[in-house]
Chain A
Amino acid sequence: MSLIDAIRQPGFWRRVRAMLTKEFIQLRRDRVSFAMIVMIPVMQLILFGFAINTTPRNLPTAVLLQETSDVGRTILSAIERTGYFKITHRLTSAEEFDRVLASGRVLFAIEIPAGFERALRRGDMPALLVAADATDPVASGTALGSLNRIVQLALINERMLPERTQPLFEIRQHARYNPAGVSSLNIVPGLVGTILTMTMLIFTALSVTREVERGTMESLLSMPISPLEIMVGKIIPYIIVGFTQAALIIGFGVLLFGVPILGSLFLLALLSTLFIATNLSIGYSFSTVAQNQLQAIQMTFMFFLPNILLSGFMFPFAGMPGWAQWIGEALPLTHYLRIVRSIMLKGSGFTELQYEVLALFVLMMVAMTIAVTRFRRTLD
């Protein structure tokens, strides 16, 4: 029987409605789950958001001045005035430069080479070396980003250097120890995806096994309701739950952390709903495979971990080896992260996101097919 036929069965929506009304009542009675719906996003967001996202200030910085000149001093004071850097060490040799950075006592080390001012005045575009300890990429990223322009302006204003179309000098950035960087604005959009993945998977992963364990599945199976109707009836209430969670996280993200939403809010809502439905379907398919609730939870976590690690939430996707990227492509969070980051931070529209939407849709259909075929209609 095809999907269309199944939906055209007389009374399909009536039975789905019966099922989802029941699920809603049960959810309302289950105080712990209900609290989880609100508490998880708010707590995670506040913890993640405030702990990781606060703009870093006064980061310890070491300086190696190879020449004593006004330009050098101007640069240093401009750097300190940004507020991001605090010069804690004055170095005298290149060996010291490496050592102090490796020790972790400073996050940045800046070298102004000998002959910098002369080269600058000749327009030779000399290089200013800024080495960053990028093991904490969130911290170093923002600071580095601000550096170039501030130093340029300082030199133009204070040292009366002519403004030119080409930059006066070049900042060579060495991001050491971790070449990848995650910018702080990525945290909130990423959190929307991770929190939704976790809560949605758990809610539906338990839904069928719970009925089996409580013995209610036996009478449900003896009633004239099809597996598809049961599935749709169990998924819809949680779409609404997931939507509420997404709204909470994004709302708090905008209010507390000033994360912008450059793209269309409607598109974001629409594609978030698709992502929520995809995760619910996957959780539900676990539920039809697992023998009991414990197994369902275990399966959820086995699926959740690669989602966190390989989706680009923790580490940049492009930096992963090919095989890991392939796994990542099969995870819904990977695609949703691209969607949510693109819409919120880059203002992307539907056309740019077609591939991700298609991928999510395919994943959802695969999960639903597994769920409906694996659903045991008998107690055999």
Chain B
Amino acid sequence: MALASDIAIDVKGLTKSFDGRVVVRDLSMQVKRGSIYGFLGPNGSGKTTTIRMLCGLLTPDSGEGTCLGYNIRTEADQIKNHVGYMTQKFSLYQDLSVRENLEFVARIYGLDAPPKAAREMIERLGLRGREEQLAAQLSGGWKQRLALGACTLPSPQLLLLDEPTAGVDPKARREFWNEIHALANDGLTVLVSTHYMDEAERCHEIAYIAYGELLTRGTVDQVIEQSKLITYNVSGDDLQKLLHALDGKPGVDMVAPFGTSLHVSGRDEKKLEAAIKPYRADKKFVWTRSEPSLEDVFIELMNRSKDNFQ
């Protein structure tokens, strides 16, 4: 058990429903200070709702916890002073310029010299020459950078980033992640939601949420390990036929094509072996036992939780 001061986010049993529909159910999580915590899950799984509860924008129906040591129910005002929240949709003012947006944020947070703070941030973001451009005229990638700049401007201790790289090209995405790592190196805690698997691997720790429930958490290796999933990588011709043959067989929990190969996974080794035995003899296919990918793990978890809910 880590010391309380080492924990940036510590929540237990968070539940939230809208119009009788449970969006987040009994969610507990701990995020260590200075770490990059990946928050994964499909669309509509409750990621945004959870993040909004953490920064005081939504009140949980039940459950409690602290964010930077402040109670998320009663001390939202203090949380707002120390948390930078980057919304999923661009939420700075489209009709203000880059500089005006940053100066506005700087003034609200009471920074000493707003124009200077804004200028330095423009420099840091590499937005020089665009400072008088209206936010609406920036491309997706630049908007993202500006939004990140705006929420890091008041030097928060915790960043909550809600799908910051959705719809951004790979190069901009990589630069964005480099920036996040640089910020974490400076001691900032970052909670970032995403549904890109490659981004999950860039996090120190991840949590997977689907249908409002936290299904697994830990480091990437731990998550894969915990899944107890056995995976075979099959290559060869006619994989489509094999996919149809294996899909739904007892013991085969998941089968999915990955490029030129097929991933066949199951939780129960014996059953899986029994199911694939007839096809292993086929010379057309090359079977290799491999580690499941993070995606295998997540899809399998999601399928399983879906079964539980329906």
CB nearest neighbor in A for B91: A219
Complex contact A218–B105 (CB within 8 A): no
Complex contact A219–B87 (CB within 8 A): yes
Complex contact B56–A224 (CB within 8 A): no
A14: which of B56, B76, B110 is its contact (CB, 8 Å)? B110
B92: which of A17, A216, A224, A377 is its contact (CB, 8 Å)? A216
Q: Which chain A residues border B85 with CB–CB below 8 Å?
A: 219, 222
Question: Which of A18-26, A96-104, A250-258 participates in binding chain B?
Answer: A18-26
In the bound complex, CA of A83 to CA of B233 (Å): 105
CB nearest neighbor in B for A214: B94
CB nearest neighbor in A for B61: A380
B125: CB under 8 A from chain A? no
Q: In chain B, residues 101-133, which have Cβ atoms closer than 8 Å to a Cβ of chain A?
A: 104-105, 107-110
Q: Answer whether A223 and B58 are a contact pair too, CB < 8 Å, given A22-B96, A215-B89, A379-B52.
A: no
Q: Which chain A residues border B110 with CB–CB below 8 Å?
A: 11, 14-15
In the bound complex, CA of A377 to CA of B59 (Å): 10
Report how many residues on chain B are interfacial, defined by Cβ distance under 8 Å: 31
Q: Which chain B residues border A14 with CB–CB below 8 Å?
A: 107, 110
Complex contact A224–B108 (CB within 8 A): yes
Q: In chain A, residues 302-352, which have Cβ atoms closer than 8 Å to a Cβ of chain B?
A: none
A228 to chain B minimum Cβ distance, whole angstroms, is: 13
Complex contact B83–A222 (CB within 8 A): yes
Complex contact B107–A21 (CB within 8 A): yes
A178 to chain B minimum Cβ distance, whole angstroms, is: 49
B81: CB under 8 A from chain A? yes
B279: CB under 8 A from chain A? no
Complex contact B57–A378 (CB within 8 A): yes
Q: Answer whether A26 and B107 are a contact pair too, CB < 8 Å, given A215-B90, A223-B80.
A: no
**Contact flags (1/0) for A22-36 with B, using CB distance below 8 Å?**
100110011000000
CB nearest neighbor in B for A379: B57
A128: CB under 8 A from chain B? no
Complex contact A21–B104 (CB within 8 A): yes
**Contact flags (1/0) for A353-380 with B, using CB distance below 8 Å?**
0000000000000000000000001111
B52 to chain A minimum Cβ distance, whole angstroms, is: 6
Q: Which chain B residues border A15 with CB–CB below 8 Å?
A: 107-108, 110
Complex contact B77–A224 (CB within 8 A): yes
B39 to chain A minimum Cβ distance, whole angstroms, is: 17
Complex contact B100–A25 (CB within 8 A): yes
B252: CB under 8 A from chain A? no
Q: Which chain B residues border A25 with CB–CB below 8 Å?
A: 95-96, 100
A378: which of B58, B91, B134, B151 is its contact (CB, 8 Å)? B58
A223 to chain B minimum Cβ distance, whole angstroms, is: 5
A225: CB under 8 A from chain B? yes
B93: CB under 8 A from chain A? yes
Complex contact B91–A215 (CB within 8 A): yes
B140 to chain A minimum Cβ distance, whole angstroms, is: 15
Range of interface residues on A (Cβ < 8 Å): 20 to 34
A232 to chain B minimum Cβ distance, whole angstroms, is: 14
In the bound complex, CA of A216 to CA of B135 (Å): 12
Q: Which chain B residues border A17 with CB–CB below 8 Å?
A: 107
Q: Which chain A residues border B59 with CB–CB below 8 Å?
A: 378, 380
Q: Which chain B residues border A221 with CB–CB below 8 Å?
A: 57
B55: CB under 8 A from chain A? yes
A209 to chain B minimum Cβ distance, whole angstroms, is: 15
**Contact flags (1/0) for A194-220 with B, using CB distance below 8 Å?**
000000000000000000001111110
Complex contact B95–A26 (CB within 8 A): yes
In the bound complex, CA of A14 to CA of B93 (Å): 19
Q: Which chain B residues border A19 with CB–CB below 8 Å?
A: 108
Q: Which chain B residues border A223 with CB–CB below 8 Å?
A: 80, 105, 108-109
CB nearest neighbor in A for B53: A378
Complex contact A18–B108 (CB within 8 A): yes
Q: Which chain A residues border B56 with CB–CB below 8 Å?
A: 222, 378
Q: Which chain B residues border A26 with CB–CB below 8 Å?
A: 93, 95-96
B87: which of A22, A218, A224 is its contact (CB, 8 Å)? A218
Q: Which of A21, A215, A219 has the most chain B CB atoms closer than 10 A to its own CB?
A: A219
Q: Which chain A residues border B90 with CB–CB below 8 Å?
A: 215
B81: which of A30, A215, A224 is its contact (CB, 8 Å)? A224
Q: Which chain B residues border A216 with CB–CB below 8 Å?
A: 91-93
B51 to chain A minimum Cβ distance, whole angstroms, is: 10
Nearest 7 pairs of A and B residues by beta carbon: A18-B107, A219-B91, A222-B85, A224-B80, A215-B89, A215-B91, A29-B95
A-B contact pairs, 29 of them (CB 8 A): A15-B107, A18-B108, A19-B108, A22-B96, A22-B100, A22-B104, A25-B100, A29-B95, A30-B95, A215-B89, A215-B90, A216-B91, A217-B91, A218-B57, A218-B87, A218-B91, A219-B87, A219-B91, A219-B151, A222-B85, A223-B80, A224-B77, A224-B80, A224-B108, A377-B76, A378-B58, A378-B59, A379-B52, A380-B59
Having A219-B150, A222-B55, one finds 19 other A-B pairs with CB under 8 Å, namely A14-B110, A15-B107, A15-B110, A22-B96, A25-B96, A30-B95, A214-B91, A215-B89, A217-B91, A218-B89, A219-B87, A219-B151, A222-B87, A224-B77, A224-B81, A378-B57, A379-B57, A379-B58, A380-B58
Chain B residues with CB under 8 Å of chain A are 52, 55-59, 76-77, 80-81, 83, 85, 87, 89-96, 100, 104-105, 107-110, 134, 150-151
Chain A residues with CB under 8 Å of chain B are 11, 14-15, 17-19, 21-22, 25-26, 29-30, 214-219, 221-225, 377-380
